[in-house]
Amino acid sequence: MRPFSTATCDIENQQSAKSINLYSAINQALHIALETDPRTFVFGEDVSFGGVFRCTTGLADRFGKSRVFNTPLCEQGIVGFGIGLAAMGNRAIAEIQFADYIFPAFDQIVNEAAKFRYRSGNQFNCGGLTIRAPYGAVGHGGHYHSQSPEAFFCHVPGIKVVIPRSPQQAKGLLLSCIRDPNPVVFFEPKWLYRLAVEEVPEHDYMLPLSKAEVIREGSDITLVGWGAQLSIMEQACIDAEKDGISCELIDLKTLIPWDKETVEASVRKTGRLLVSHEAPVTGGFGAEISASIVERCFLRVSNFIYFVLLIEYYREPIQFFFIESQAFHCTNNLILAPIILNILASTLKTQKEENEKNKKVQTMLTCLCGDKRMHAAEWN
């Protein structure tokens, strides 16, 4: 009925591209989705007049109020309604106004959308459902306009979780999500809605899901992140380079099912890993990445930094800690760049020392483990 998300298009061969911001890229994707499939619907709170972030501007005028419409203020209703629409073979694009308000819909997402196909033995599915929600901190959002709830959804088999880092990515990934035959939660970095501007091809293109991207190659350490965090990490990479530290930066893009192979390959090369996300540390998705990578290439990692940042913007003055606490305050995302840099510098300062230590550990493990073959590949 519709192409799979793997059917991607080469952005390099673009016919024409314009410099636009992230919300306009989302808007373009929605226009294309509605235009290319008459069974596509866009709905949510205040969607009809263009949405509070203007992502749905012009859609109702162009495609009519029966396909682009406001709903009552009820998130479980929005997602439940979307599941019903999708179950009838439609592409239902539901907007949750802020990711902070997605929780009333948690039951519909976890118990219904995610299990719809599995529990019916593939008789029914709601794969046409895409839930869009702006997430993350912007600087003045307080508790209820700043959260990054992605980890809750990453614990749910049956849905996909996707977060774009830029306008170009947002358009291609959103179109993939809409056309993917599985329900998807698509978190949009609202900090970047107007801030991030990029050349975005005007035509219909899709970017692959469950495929991470190495944005910047390096040899000393691997940095993994997603969404708005990427711009911070990129800045850190640039700063680190001045200090002679070569960073490899990976955008995960799809959080579940995630691309372990790309991260693993990078960590095998660099031997170090840093994960950074806006969400709380405990039970964060960074923990999943670190656990998986440790499991896969324990003996290759000379320096493992499972490091996650929590940002909550609700009060000044500025304070920042590297341990989880409810007392985290910060007013500017960019403060993270020097922090990451510090971590990198202090880590690499002791590189020599640690290399020797690691050698010792490896020798020790070799002695302890009878099965040398098992680890031979890991050392080389």
Indicate which residues carry an active-site annotation. Answer: 75, 145
Among 1, 35, 124, 361, binds another protein (CB under 8 A): 124
C-alpha distances in angstroms, 257 versus 14, 134, 211, 254, 291? 28, 21, 9, 7, 15
Q: 46's torsion region: left (phi>0), alpha (psi -120 to 50) or beta?
A: left
What is 242-301 written as a DSSP string?
HTT--EEEEE--EEET--HHHHHHHHHHHSEEEE--SS-STT-HHHHHHHHHHHHHGGG-
Residue 371 as a binder of another protein (CB under 8 A): the answer is no
Nearer to another protein, 49 or 144 (CB): 49
Site map (CB under 8 A) of another protein, residues 138-157, x = contact:
-------------------x
Among 53, 63, 205, 258, binds another protein (CB under 8 A): 258
Residue 130 as a binder of another protein (CB under 8 A): the answer is no
Residue 121 as a binder of another protein (CB under 8 A): the answer is yes
C-alpha distances in angstroms, 16 versus 13, 161, 207? 9, 29, 17
Residue 76 as a binder of another protein (CB under 8 A): the answer is yes
Residue 80 as a binder of another protein (CB under 8 A): the answer is yes
Q: What residues contact residue 75 under an 8 Å CB cut-off, 6+ apart?
A: 96, 101, 102, 103, 104, 105
Among 21, 56, 90, 130, binds another protein (CB under 8 A): 90
Minimum CB separation of residue 244 from another protein in Å reads 36
Nearer to another protein, 14 or 84 (CB): 84
Nearer to another protein, 72 or 317 (CB): 72
Residue 108 as a binder of another protein (CB under 8 A): the answer is yes
Residue 62 as a binder of another protein (CB under 8 A): the answer is no
166-185 residues in contact with another protein (CB under 8 A) are 181-182
Nearer to another protein, 260 or 375 (CB): 260
Q: Which stretch binds another protein (CB under 8 A): 27-35, 103-111, 144-152, 196-204?
A: 103-111
Q: Is 293 strand, coil or helix?
A: helix
**What are the phi and psi torsion angles at 182 (to 5°)?**
-135, 150
Nearer to another protein, 90 or 97 (CB): 90
Cα(131)–Cα(312) distance, rounded to whole angstroms?
A: 24
- Could you say which DSSP state residue 253 is in? -
Residue 102 as a binder of another protein (CB under 8 A): the answer is no
Which residues are bridge partners to 21 per DSSP? 197
Cα(201)–Cα(24) distance, rounded to whole angstroms?
A: 12
Residue 303 as a binder of another protein (CB under 8 A): the answer is no
Residue 72 as a binder of another protein (CB under 8 A): the answer is yes
Cα(38)–Cα(293) distance, rounded to whole angstroms?
A: 43
Q: Is 218 strand, coil or helix?
A: coil
Angle, alpha carbons 295-298-304 (nearest 5°) = 105
Cα(248)–Cα(235) distance, rounded to whole angstroms?
A: 12
Q: Which stretch binds another protein (CB under 8 A): 73-81, 271-279, 344-352, 356-364?
A: 73-81
> Could you list the residues that contact another protein (CB under 8 A)?
48-49, 65-66, 69-72, 74, 76-77, 79-90, 92, 104, 107-108, 111-112, 115-125, 127, 157-158, 160, 181-182, 210, 256-258, 260-261
